[in-house]
Structure 1
Amino acid sequence: MTLLSALPASDSYRVTGSGARPSAFAVSELATASFAAVGQELIRLMKSLNLVSDAPELTVDHRLASLWYGFSFKPEGWEMPSLWDAIAGDYQASNGWIRLHTNLPAHRQAALKVLKVKPDRDAVAQAVRTWSTVDLEAAIVAEGGATAAMRSRSEWLEHPQGRAVSRDPLIGWHNPRQVTLRDRPQATAERPLAGLRVLDMTRVLAGPIATRTLAGFGAEVLRIDPPGWDEPGVIPDVSLGKRCAYLDMKTPAGLEAVQDLLSRADVLVHGYRPGALDALGLTQAKRDELAPNRIEVTLNAYGWQGPWSNRRGFDSLVQMSAGIADAGRSWAKADKPTPLPVQALDHATGYLMAAAALSALSEAALGNSIMQARLSLARTAELLAVLGKAETSNEITRANPTDYAPAPEKSDWGVGHRLKPALRVGGTDMIWSRPASKLGTSDPIWPSLKP
C-alpha cells in the first residue's frame, strides 16, 4: 500500500510566490508542503478513479499558503469576535511560565476553581505566581481544564510524553479492512470530490480545516455540533463550504440521527479523545457496523501513546509543552513565551488530515484494504521542529488586497472577502459552493438524499 506517511518531495510540485512568516521555525515551508500533500493525494485519487489519464501539474502559491495558515476571511464593515477569552493567555508562575486555555466555559471554570479566584485577569495573575508551573498544570488538568507549562525542547524530548510522541508516525494507520466505495457519477476532473459525503464531528481548529479543504474540491460536508455550541472567533473562517447542524448525541433521538448520518457517510472526520465516542455509544464496533465502507480520519492533541494521550489540548498549549514557545522566546530575544505567528500545528495537521482521507480513498478505489488515519498536534510539532527553514528578508505578516478573491463572500455574519486558493491541480481549482455559515443553521440530513 502507498498510504500517505510523509510530506511530498519538494521537487514533485511547482512553487510560486515567496516570503516567509517571521518565526524561529519553518512555518511557511510547512504551509506549502502541507498544501502540496493535499494536491499529491488528490492527483492520486483522480488517477485511481480514472478522472484523468496523466498526472496534472501540482502548483502551490507559497505566499497564499502562508496566509491561509492565518485567517482566510476578511470582514467588510464589521469585525469578527475575539479568538480568545479574557482570561486566556500566558502567566508567570513562581518558577516559569504557564498558559491557561479558557475559551470553553468548562475549562475556564476549572482554572478559576483551582486558583480560587474570580474571573479577573489581575487576580488570576496574582494567584498563578503562588504556584509552580508543573503543580498548577497538574491541578488544572485534574480538574478537567486545559493548560500547559512552558518547557524547553530538551525538557520535552526527555519528558515521557515527548518520548512517546517521538515514536509516533506522522500519520498512524490502524485497523485495516476492505471497503467498497460508493459510486459517485457526478465526480469529474474539475470537481473530483463531488457527491462525497463527509461527516464532520470536529472542533477548533485542525479538523474543521481538513473538512473545509475537502469541501473546496466538491465534497458534501455536514458538520454536527451539540445544541448551542459556538466558536465565534473561528467559525466564519472554517465553516466555508459546509452545512452545519445541531444534534444532541446524549439523547436517544440525537444519537439515532447521528448513527443514520454515519451509515450514509463516505468519510468520518472527528477529533474526539480516546474513549469519548465509546461513551456516546459509537464504539469502533458500532461504527464498523453502521458504516463498514467509511474512510475515518481522527486527531488528538498529544499523541496516541504515552501518559498524556488522553489529555485535553490545543495548538497554543502544545506549542508551550513541546518547546516551541520557549525556542521562539530565545529566537526573538524576548522575556516571555513567543509562540508561532499563526496556529501552524492546527493548520498543518488539518491539511494532512485532508490528505490522509484522500490517500485512503485512493487505496479503496484501487481495491486495496484501507486503514483509519490518526494524527496529533504534538507529532506535527516534531515535524515542524526538524523542517529546514529558508532565509529570506521578505516577511509575510498580513494579506494585501490582491491576495483576496475579487468576488465578495456573503457569509451569515456579513459580507467579506476570502483569500485566493493556494493550491491548484491542473484545471482543478478549489471552489466552495457555499459561503461560511453559522453553526446550527442547516438540517441534520444529507442534502443529496432529500426527497
Structure 2
Amino acid sequence: MNDSFADATSRLWHALGAEDADLAATQLTTTGPRAVLPAAFDVTGLGTGAVAVATVAAAQFLAARRESRQPAVSVDSRESCAAFASERLFTPVGWNRPPLWDPIAGNYRAADAWIRLHTNYANHRAAVERVLGAHDRKTVQAAVAGLRAEELETAIVEAGGCAAVMHNRVRWLASAPGAATADAPPVTVVERRSSGARTPDAVGKLPFDGVRVLDLTRVIAGPVCTKFLAGYGADVLRIDPPGFDEVPSLLPETTLGKRTAALDLTASSDRAIFEALLAGADVLVSGLRGDALKRLGYDDEALTAVNPGMIIASLDAYGWDGPWRNRRGFDSLVQMSCGIADDGATATGQVEPVPLPVQALDHATGWLLAAAVARALTRRLTHSVSARIQGSLIGTANLLYSLTPPNDHLPVPTPNDFTLTATTTDWGPARRVPLPGRIDGAPVHWSQQAGPLGRHPAVWGTA
C-alpha cells in the first residue's frame, strides 16, 4: 500500500471493527497524488481510503466464497476523488438533466449567523416558503436577514423542512446533539447468530453474484452503497412509494445497476409483497430516518422475524443517539452544523461558509456502509453470524476531523482533469465517472442502465 494513504486507510478499516493484521494481509495497492481535492480537510485521504476498504472487503468476500486467496486490489486517488464528485461530473450527451440544486437552496445570512436551507424536495421547499412567506431567492434572502438563525432553523424543521445554522466546532460539541454524537463512529456493527440465512447462487466472476439487496435509500449516501454492490454483481431492487419524486438530477447516477419498483407500505397488499421480498433478501439497506421503518411496523425485531439471517444496514444524518437522531438531514447541512463549513471559512479567510469541495460525507458513508455489508456477508458465510449495521454522516464527519490534511495547496480541479466513460441511460447517452477501485479478475458490471423510479415489478431478478 502507498504509505501516504496508509494512515487514512487504516483508520477507515478500524472504523469497520476490523484488525490491522486483516488489512496488512491484503494485496492492496494505492496510487495517485496524495492531494487531489483542495480543502481544509483530508478529503483525498477520506475518499481513497473509503474506496479502498470497500473494494478490499468485496475482494475478501469473493475469496471466502471461492475458498481461495484474496485477489489483488488497486485504488487510485484521482479516480476515487472523481467518484466523490460523480453527480456533478455526469455529462448528458444530446439531452439535458435538471439542475442539481433547487433555486432557493443555499446559504443565507440571518440577523446573527449563517444558515443553510435545503429545498431540493418539493415538500421541504414548501416548508421554507410557508415559514418565510417568500417564494424566490431575493425574497427569501430579505426574509432571512431579519430573523435569528437558530429560531429560523427550529421553525423550518418543525414545519417539516430542512435547515442548518453554521456552528464552529467548539459550539457544536457543546450543544446537546453535538455532545451526544461527539464520539460517534461512521459505522457500528453488532453481530447476532444467524439462523436460516439463504444461500446465494453459486459464485461467478463477481463478489456479490446472487446476493439480493433490498434498497430503501435516497439521494447520495445510500445509493452509493447499493450502486457499488450492484456493480460487483448484487441483485439490487430499490423500493419507493408510488409517485415518489426523487431529486431528478441524481437519478442518472443513483439508479445505475438497480431495478426500481414502487410499493405502498401502508397498503396491506403491498406490505405482503414487501415482506415476501424481505424473506428472500440477503441484505436490507435503508436511508430512512431512524423512526421511519418503526412507524411502518418494521423495527429490527419485526424485520428479523421475517428473515432471521438478513443483514440490516441503515444510515442517517445526525447519528443514532441524542435529540437529533430522527432529524432530517443532508451532507451540506451536517457540514454546517458540525463545524466543517466554519473551519473551511477560517482556513480560507472567508466570512461566508466554505464547505468541502464535494459531498464527501455522503460518498464516504456510502462506501463505508458497502464495506461493512461486504464484511458482514463474509462473516455470515464463515462464522454463521449476521449483522446490524448503522452508519451516519455525523460519524463520518468525526472521522474526517481525525485525519491530518496534507499541506499541498491545490487549484480546484476541472472536469477535464478526470476521465469519464461512455454510458447509456433511459434518458439517453452520457459520460460518467467509472467506479474506482479494481479487483483482479472481477471487472465491474452493471446489469441495469440508469432510469426512472418504479419501472420494474417488485420481484427478485434472481428468482
Name the TM-score class by shorter chain.
over 0.9
Unmatched 5+ residue regions in structure 2?
A: 1-13
Q: Does the CA-based 8 Å contact 1:22-1:395 persist in structure 2?
A: yes
Structure 1 gaps of 5+ residues are: none
Asked if 2 retains the 8 angstrom alpha-carbon contact of 1:43 and 1:56, the reply is yes
CA deviation string 1:59-115 (max 9, x = no partner) = 101100000001263211223211111111111000010001111122112222222
**Which residue type is aligned with residue 279 of structure 2?**
S
Q: Distance in 1 between matches of 2:341 and 2:209?
A: 40
Superposition deviation, residue 179 in structure 1: 3.7
Higher mean alpha-carbon deviation, 13-22 vs 150-159, is at 13-22
Q: Aligned to 2:234, which of 203, 206, 219? A: 219
Matched, 1:78 2:95: yes
Number of the residue aligned with 1:92: 109
Preserved CA contact (<8 Å) 1:8 1:40: no
2:224 maps to which residue? 209
Q: Give the secondary-structure state (helix, strand or coil) at the position aligned to 2:305.
A: helix
Q: Deviations over 1:167-210 (max 9, x none)?
A: 3233222362324442234313x212111110000111110110
Partner of 2:266: 250
1:16 is matched with 31
Amino acid at match of 1:109: A
Is residue 2:305 matched to residue 1:289?
A: yes
Q: Which runs of 4+ in 1 moved over 6 A?
A: 6-11
- Seen in structure 2, the aligned counterparts of structure 1 residues 409 and 127 have a Cα distance that, compared at 3 Å, is same
TM-score w.r.t. length of structure 2: 0.91
Secondary structure of the 2:326 match is coil
Once the 2 structures are TM-superposed, how far is the Cα of residue 300 of structure 1 from its aligned partner?
0.8
Q: Quote how far apart the aligned CAs of 1:409 are.
A: 1.5
Query: Is the CA contact 1:151–1:323 (under 8 Å) kept in the aligned structure 2?
Result: yes
Give the 3 Å change call, closer, same or farther, for CA 141–365 of structure 1 in structure 2: same
Q: CA deviation at 1:331?
A: 1.8
**How big is the shift at 1:130?**
1.5
Evaluate the alpha carbon distance shift between residue 31 and residue 7 of structure 1 in structure 2; reply closer, same or farther with a 3 A threshold: farther
Match of 1:176 in 2: 192
Give the match for residue 432 of structure 1: 446
Structure 2 CA distance for aligned equivalents of residues 103 and 420 of structure 1: 26
Q: Mark the CA change 1:402 to 1:376 in structure 2 (over 3 Å): closer, same or farther.
A: closer
- Inter-partner Cα distance in structure 2 for 1:67 and 1:7: 29
Q: CA deviation at 1:394?
A: 5.3
Q: Deviations over 1:386-429 (max 9, x none)?
A: 21222335556234387123xx3110111012223311122222
Change (3 A) 1:6 1:378: farther
Paired with 1:106 and 1:400, the residues of 2 have a C-alpha distance of 36
- Does the aligned pair in 1 maintain the 2:237–2:259 contact within 8 Å? yes
Shift of residue 5, structure 1, vs aligned partner: 2.6
Q: CA deviation at 1:298?
A: 0.3
Other-structure match for 1:65:
80
Contact 1:6/1:170 (CA < 8 Å) preserved in 2? no
Structure 1 window deviating more from structure 2 (350-359 vs 332-341): it is 332-341
CA distance in 1, matches of 2:161, 2:19: 33
Q: Is the 8 A contact 2:36 2:410 kept in 1?
A: yes
Note the 1:320-359 alignment, pairs <5 A: 320-359=336-375
Greater alpha carbon shift after TM alignment, 40-49 vs 437-446: 40-49
Structure 2 letter corresponding to 1:56: P
The structure-2 alpha-carbon separation of the partners of 1:164 and 1:126, relative to structure 1 and needing over 3 Å to count, comes to same
RMSD of aligned alpha carbons: 2.1
2:7 alignment counterpart:
none
Distance, in Å, in 1 between the alignment partners of 2:436 and 2:411 is: 17
How big is the shift at 1:47? 2.8
8 Å CA contact 1:195–1:219 kept in 2: the answer is: yes
The answer as to whether partners of 1:30 and 1:384 remain within 8 angstroms in 2 is yes
Q: Is the 8 A contact 1:198 1:267 kept in 2?
A: yes
- Answer yes or no: is the 8 Å Cα contact 1:8–1:33 preserved in 2: no
Matched, 1:121 2:137: yes
Task: Please state whether the residue corresponding to 1:281 is helix, strand or coil.
Answer: coil
Q: Which moved more, 1:426-435 or 1:194-203?
A: 426-435
**In 2, are the aligned partners of 1:3 and 1:363 still within 8 Å (CA)?**
no
Identity of aligned residues (%): 40
Aligned residue pairs, count: 443
Q: How does 1:103-142 map to 2 (within 5 A)?
A: 103-115=120-132, 117-142=133-158
Q: Secondary structure at the match of 1:370?
A: strand
Question: Equivalents in 1 of 2:51, 2:170: separation in Å?
Answer: 30
In the other structure, the counterpart of 1:156 is 172
Deviates more, 1:2-11 or 1:367-376: 2-11
Q: What is the SS of the residue equivalent to 1:134?
A: helix
2:335 paired with 1:319: yes
Cα-to-partner distance string for 1:122-156 (whole Å, 9 max, x where unaligned):
11111111211111111111222111000011111
Amino acid at match of 1:421: L
Question: Aligned partners of 1:255 and 1:125: how far apart in 2?
Answer: 44
Residue in 1 that maps onto 2:423: 409
* Partner AA of 2:222 in structure 1: G
Instruction: Determine which of 34, 42, 49 is the counterpart of 1:26.
Output: 42
C-alpha distance in 2, partners of 1:187/1:214?
Answer: 14
Amino acid at match of 2:287: G
Q: Which moved more, 1:313-322 or 1:178-187?
A: 178-187
1:91–1:353 Cα change, 3 Å: same
User: In the alignment, what sits opposite 1:235?
Assistant: 251
Counting only pairs closer than 5 Å after superposition, residues 301-316 of structure 1 correspond to structure 2 as: 301-316=317-332
How far residue 311 of structure 1 moved from its aligned partner, in angstroms, is 0.8
Partner amino acid, structure 2, of 1:161:
P
Whether the aligned pair in 2 keeps the contact of 1:345 and 1:380 (CA below 8 Å) is yes
Match of 2:383, SS state, is coil
User: Is the 1:67–1:398 Cα contact (8 Å) retained in structure 2?
Assistant: no
CA–CA distance in 1 between the matches of 2:432 and 2:140? 38
Question: Within 2, Cα distance between the matches of 1:140 and 1:171?
Answer: 29
Q: What SS does the corresponding residue of 1:428 show, helix, strand or coil?
A: coil
Partner residue, 1:5 = 17
Contact 1:301 1:314 in 2 (8 A): yes
User: In structure 1, what is the equivalent of residue 277 of structure 2?
Assistant: 261
Asked if the contact 2:38–2:357 (Cα under 8 Å) also holds between the matched residues in 1, the reply is yes
**Structure 1 position 301, deviation (Å):** 0.6
Counterparts of residues 369-448 of structure 1 (less than 5 Å): 369-393=385-409, 395=411, 397-400=413-416, 403-405=419-421, 408-448=422-462
